[in-house]
Structure 1
Amino acid sequence: MTNVIPFSNETQNSKFRLLFVALIGAFALLLQTITADARGAPESFADLAEAVSPAVVNITTTTIVEASADNSPLVPEGSPFEDFFREFSDRGGQGGNRAPRRSQALGSGFVISEDGYIVTNNHVIEGADEIEIEFFEGFTLPATLVGTDPKTDIAVLKVESDKPLVFVAFGDSDVARMGDWVMAMGNPLGQGFSISAGIVSQRGRALQGAYDDYIQTDAAINRGNSGGPLFNMDGEVIGVNTAILSPNGGSIGIGFSMASNVVTRVTDQLIEFGETRRGWLGVKIQNVSDDVAEAMGLDSASGALITDVPEGPSKEAGIEAGDVIVSFDGKDVEDANALVRTVGEAEVGKAVRVVVFRDGKTKTLMVTLGRREEAEKVAFPTSEEDAPAVVEDTELFGLTVAPLTDETREQLGVAAGTNGLAVMAVDETSEAYTKGLRAGDVIVEAGQEPVASPADLSARAEQAREAGRKTVLLLVRRAGEPRFVALSVDE
């Protein structure tokens, strides 16, 4: 018979204490590991700063301001010294024919190759007659301009050095996460080399350009930091410090750095060609709003809605106004801005698959991309003539419309032979007015079918009602520029 000997209370308590201590230790170790992973920052930035500093540069630009024959005084109008300076000017003094003067500005940049290529902002060197680079070690070199891209505010410079230069590499900005630590370095307010640290506040910020992809950071960025690098904790450049949001011109913790994955493509092209070479699809587009999606039968308000197709790659491929691009070269299209960036990053001359939504179903077309820089030289014809005089008209959707005539076509800058409805007046209490329609607009399509008379417009609205739709989609042109507007057909 086997005897079972129970643990005494003391033995049990001892076991429990050991188990509790072990659990607490394991938990503390796990918490320490999680905290370290989440923090992702060293105890000090000193080692990182020491490693990358030799590749960061201060940039001084000099612009020669031409002589001025302006004889106006150098003091504000009404100043008690105005008469004195005018008399001085009349005697041929400095205020008369001023000599050319040298204007200087400061910025930052960083070396990306041992043979002396340097990246900075376009606005740092724009219009400069001389560019001087000051290195962290204390020596200076003159720089020449390789190329610029105003659309992303990036410029590439070149210096000649007797010895290989220390340089830094670009990192992958797409893997940067909100909350990751970053370090900015540059020449803020002309104070010389300095660093600031912060986190990635947000990604994918767009300020005003079609190719904007900014990293927002709270690392202090001030005037003079422009063109400097934003480093991750591996010492890789994931952004080029470009702009700040501030009411007073100083840092308030909202800075923007152009993402490295945009910058690398631009710098590679500037170094190779001296200019950018972006893909061009050859369409005019707008975002798909909820009411436009409903009017077209789309499942969601995504994609890029084509408003016009001029002569070019898309027209040759069979893409039409009213199509919605939902996929480009195997990538889903979120909105119009995303399409512009994706196309711009594509190789000129590449044949790509473009999936469009048309008449309730998708269609795949092959488009051979052109070059945007060449296409931009050809402008769409526009006209800013006043709205035409009122002719026979009809009121629909709060719009007073009339068929186009030769006279109104000429007044509105519409091509001869174009059919449509001229908007003569808009009820300011109507949905149409709220959505931006104005006198002088021309409605050329409704429900993705041409309209030549008010009866056509009324019929398209009725067809939308019968199909169970809440809105009808109008294609409207203003001074030659097209856009789609969805108006409610509810009675």
Structure 2
Amino acid sequence: MKKIGSLLLVAVFAGAITLGAYKFFFEKPNFAIISQDNGSRVLTTSSYTPTSARGAGINEVDFTSAAESTVNAVVHVKNVTLNKTPSNIIEYFYGSGSTPRPQVGTGSGVVISSDGYIVTNNHVIDKADHLQVTLNNNKTYDAELIGTDPNTDIALLKINADRQLPYLAFGDSDNTKVGEWVLAVGNPFNLTSTVTAGIVSAKARALGRIDQSFIQTDAAVNPGNSGGALVNTNGDLIGINTAITSQTGSYVGYSFAVPSNIAKKIVEDIMEYGNVQKGILGITPPRLSSEYAIKNGLHNIDGVYVESIEEDSGAYDAEMQTGDIIKKVDEINIHTSSDLTGYIATKRPGDQVKVTVLRDGESLEFDVTLKERQTIVIPVIGFEVKNLTEKDKKTFRTKKGVKIIGVPETFRAYDLEGKVLLSFGDQEINNIKEAKTLFGRISRYGRASITMLTEKGEKERLIIQ
């Protein structure tokens, strides 16, 4: 019996050794890797070919959950403007009997709070006499305009609904990557909420202005989509659809959205301060298409070349210099002016940023505190003016007024540059904001008197008409 047991034990060991040898020498290995991605467990076979965490292609991406969470938070915005233009020659000459005719414009909006705040484009609601919002369930409400920022083309509306509304929270557009799948949701051609898909084609795009910074996508956007949502596959609001470039006015391949970080900051400023708080770095880049920029190779620089620095600005106080090349702000790499503009647009006066520059081949860092803009071009007459510095106040012996630092060719002969603008008519001017407001009242065919102060303490008056 003992002999049988010994033979059985030997047989078991021999079989185990044989099986192990086969597995080791002849059978091809097959490994599985378990990885963690956004809280979900993903099983993938090993490969030396890089693959996207979100899937290799469109067939692996599921848009349904993002679409379901978005469509009910996107609304239809109707802009009604009363057109008082005469309809016939009699009304044109006599002006009697004419009845204002309503003109209707439409667009989209995104509900951003359960109590009815809605973000849209400024051009969707511009010059409206009456605003209406229709939800995805076809209920219509009158809307109140809370505030606008024409520069970024963002406007904030408010409706008083009879229930809590589905809404979208702002995502972080800085984390958006080129090539990432996105959905555009809006109301093109007066249809109810419509979803189109595409990818992020580029970031920090400018459409002819250096102070713009758009997300570019190839998701189809058409008339009526303006003010709608751009979301990623998680359903995060990463942009407000704003513009297309097209010779026909309809979609031809690319569309543009205001990044959510900029839109969020604009909305928060309007709600908290009643206006937009703009912090500036205080540097001016060159026009890259200019002969000077091309001749000196500035149009080929990777970064933002500092052509000039505004006096009494954050960059001035931090001792940045003309000729510095801005390469990074905080953790954002800067390649173009739009990169810089887009990030600074999310900041307010008083915020501090770390600016990394290249100076004579050496990398330097500066802690810069952003300030309010100290210069402005006042409307109608086109003077460039700036707030008085402490040095200016001592030089001109005044605490009021704004300094004229630039004039258009029309006024060159009057020797106005360098003088302090004290008043508009009988109203004193204390800062550039007041100057902008007062000069905005000049009618096209009206006239106004302005009072100026020279360094010698002499007052001069000029009649503008």
Instruction: Please give the TM-score of this superposition, normalised by the length of structure 2.
Output: 0.64
The equivalences for 1:91-240 within 5 A come to 98-240=98-240
Partners of 1:112 and 1:250 lie apart in 2 by 27
State the identity %.
32
Aligned equivalent of 2:371: 370
Give 1:235 shift.
0.9
Aligned equivalent of 2:347: 346
Partners of 1:174 and 1:123 lie apart in 2 by 25
Partner SS for 1:37: coil
Aligned residue type for 2:244: I
Aligned equivalent of 1:38: 56
Q: Is structure 2 residue 78 aligned with structure 1 residue 60?
A: yes
Does structure 1 conserve the Cα–Cα contact (< 8 Å) formed by 2:213 and 2:339? Answer: no
Aligned equivalent of 1:306: 307
Aligned residue type for 1:159: I
Give 1:375 shift.
4.8
The superposition leaves residues 256-292 of structure 1 with CA deviations (integer Å, 9 ceiling, x where unpaired) of 1122122111121122222210113444432785864
2:27 to 7, 13, 19: 19
**Structure-2 change in CA distance of 1:249 and 1:44 (3 Å):** same
The superposition leaves residues 195-237 of structure 1 with CA deviations (integer Å, 9 ceiling, x where unpaired) of 1112222222221344422222221100000000011111111
Gaps of 5+ in 2: 1-18, 34-42, 379-383, 386-404, 420-465
Aligned residue type for 1:215: I
Does structure 1 conserve the Cα–Cα contact (< 8 Å) formed by 2:31 and 2:46? Answer: no
2:408 to 383, 408, 418: 383
Aligned equivalent of 1:264: 264
**Structure-2 change in CA distance of 1:108 and 1:344 (3 Å):** closer
The superposition leaves residues 117-169 of structure 1 with CA deviations (integer Å, 9 ceiling, x where unpaired) of 10111100011111111001121111111111111111111111222111011
Partners of 2:358 and 2:45 lie apart in 1 by 54
Partner SS for 1:99: coil
The equivalences for 1:399-418 within 5 A come to none
Does structure 1 conserve the Cα–Cα contact (< 8 Å) formed by 2:200 and 2:218? Answer: yes
1:48 to 66, 76, 101: 66
**Structure-2 change in CA distance of 1:67 and 1:414 (3 Å):** closer
- How many residue pairs match? The answer is 364
Partners of 1:164 and 1:337 lie apart in 2 by 38
Does structure 2 conserve the Cα–Cα contact (< 8 Å) formed by 1:383 and 1:412? Answer: no
Does structure 1 conserve the Cα–Cα contact (< 8 Å) formed by 2:205 and 2:214? Answer: yes
Does structure 2 conserve the Cα–Cα contact (< 8 Å) formed by 1:151 and 1:209? Answer: no
**Structure-2 change in CA distance of 1:349 and 1:200 (3 Å):** closer
Partner SS for 2:268: helix
The superposition leaves residues 24-72 of structure 1 with CA deviations (integer Å, 9 ceiling, x where unpaired) of 9999945799476233766653443223221110111101112538618
Partner SS for 2:243: strand
Partners of 2:44 and 2:313 lie apart in 1 by 62
Does structure 2 conserve the Cα–Cα contact (< 8 Å) formed by 1:68 and 1:97? Answer: no
Partners of 1:365 and 1:235 lie apart in 2 by 37
**Structure-2 change in CA distance of 1:70 and 1:178 (3 Å):** same
Partners of 1:318 and 1:221 lie apart in 2 by 43
- The CA RMSD over aligned residues, in Å, is 4.7
Does structure 2 conserve the Cα–Cα contact (< 8 Å) formed by 1:147 and 1:274? Answer: yes
Partners of 2:273 and 2:73 lie apart in 1 by 24
Partner SS for 1:268: helix
Partner SS for 1:48: helix
Aligned residue type for 1:235: G
Aligned residue type for 1:213: S
Aligned equivalent of 2:89: 71
Does structure 2 conserve the Cα–Cα contact (< 8 Å) formed by 1:69 and 1:97? Answer: no
Partners of 2:61 and 2:308 lie apart in 1 by 54
Partners of 2:355 and 2:179 lie apart in 1 by 36
Aligned residue type for 1:55: A
Partner SS for 1:235: coil
Partner SS for 1:270: helix
Partner SS for 2:79: strand
Does structure 1 conserve the Cα–Cα contact (< 8 Å) formed by 2:262 and 2:342? Answer: no
Partners of 2:254 and 2:343 lie apart in 1 by 27
**Structure-2 change in CA distance of 1:64 and 1:373 (3 Å):** farther
Partners of 1:333 and 1:34 lie apart in 2 by 27
Does structure 2 conserve the Cα–Cα contact (< 8 Å) formed by 1:287 and 1:335? Answer: no
Does structure 2 conserve the Cα–Cα contact (< 8 Å) formed by 1:313 and 1:367? Answer: no
Partner SS for 1:52: helix
Does structure 1 conserve the Cα–Cα contact (< 8 Å) formed by 2:240 and 2:258? Answer: yes
**Structure-2 change in CA distance of 1:237 and 1:316 (3 Å):** closer
Aligned residue type for 1:193: S
Give 1:249 shift.
1.4
- Say which is worse superposed, 261-270 or 25-34, in terms of deviation: 25-34
The superposition leaves residues 450-478 of structure 1 with CA deviations (integer Å, 9 ceiling, x where unpaired) of xxxxxxxxxxxxxxxxxxxxxxxxxxxxx
Aligned equivalent of 1:280: 280
**Structure-2 change in CA distance of 1:341 and 1:187 (3 Å):** closer
Partners of 1:385 and 1:321 lie apart in 2 by 33
Does structure 2 conserve the Cα–Cα contact (< 8 Å) formed by 1:328 and 1:352? Answer: no
Partners of 2:65 and 2:369 lie apart in 1 by 49
Instruction: Please give the TM-score of this superposition, normalised by the length of structure 1.
Output: 0.61
Partner SS for 1:54: helix
